[in-house]
């Protein structure tokens, strides 16, 4: 893991097209802004984990669909 120190209004560049900016520090909360191309999905970790769990549950589902009639 790369650990960087940034001040408010400073930015980190990832690759050629992702920018992470420190917007505000208030108490123990930090607001960051992420600029990325639309084809790059950006999630909070807890949302990403929930999506993965939903996908795992769906893949293990025992739902049997009737055969298609042609």
Query: pLDDT, tens digit, for every residue of 6-62?
Result: 999 999 999 999 999 999 999 999 999 999 999 999 999 999 999 999 998 888 876
* pLDDT band, very low/low/confident/very high, at 63 (cuts 50, 70, 90): low
- Tell me the sheet residues that pair with 14: 18
70 within a domain of the structure (yes/no): no
Q: In terms of residue numbers, what domain contains 24?
A: 11-59
Reply yes or no on whether the pLDDT at 69 is more than 80: no
Reply yes or no on whether the pLDDT at 68 is more than 80: no
Contact between 50 and 43 (Cβ < 8 Å): no
55 within a domain of the structure (yes/no): yes
Q: What is the pLDDT at residue 49?
A: 94
Name the domain count of the chain: 1
**CA–CA dist 12, 36 (Å, integer):** 12
């Amino acid at each position: 893991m790369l650990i960087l120190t940034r001040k408010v209004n400073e930015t980190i560049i990832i690759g050629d097209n992702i920018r992470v900016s420190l917007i505000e520090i208030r108490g123990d909360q930090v607001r960051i802004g992420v600029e990325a191309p639309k084809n790059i999905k950006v999630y909070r970790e807890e949302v990403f984990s929930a999506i993965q769990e939903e996908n795992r549950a769906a893949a293990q589902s025992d739902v049997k669909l009737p055969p298609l009639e042609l």
